[in-house]
Amino acid sequence: MSDRLIPEAHRDLSAIGDFMMEIARNIEDGLRHSGAVPKKDYGYIDLCKRALPVVVEMWKQGSLEHTFEPGSFPPQKTNRS
């Protein structure tokens, strides 16, 4: 069981990108425990599609932050309310 798609890593779960990867990793754990094989029965896109609704809901509730690199779009953090 070492051929997983989402590697274990230290993540800041208050950041939207890290939170999404952690949810995708948890989904992958469930698939693998059920006997699914990475890159055969599921791929990165499958994991992201299943993780996205959870991430969006947490973001709507204000549980996650999204920061942008300097010079990226949008140029500054905006108020979500």
Please write the tens of the pLDDT for every residue from 68-77.
455 444 444 5
pLDDT for the residue 17: 83
Q: Cα(10)–Cα(50) distance, rounded to whole angstroms?
A: 21
Give the chain's largest Cα–Cα span: 44
Q: Please give the mean pLDDT across all residues of the chain.
A: 80
Q: Cα(46)–Cα(27) distance, rounded to whole angstroms?
A: 10
The pTM (predicted TM-score) of the whole model is: 0.72
Q: Are 17 and 68 in contact (CB under 8 A)?
A: no
Tell me which residue of 26, 16, 21 sits closest to 48, measured CA to CA.
Answer: 21
Q: CB burial class (10 A; 0-12, 13-18, 19+) of residue 47?
A: buried
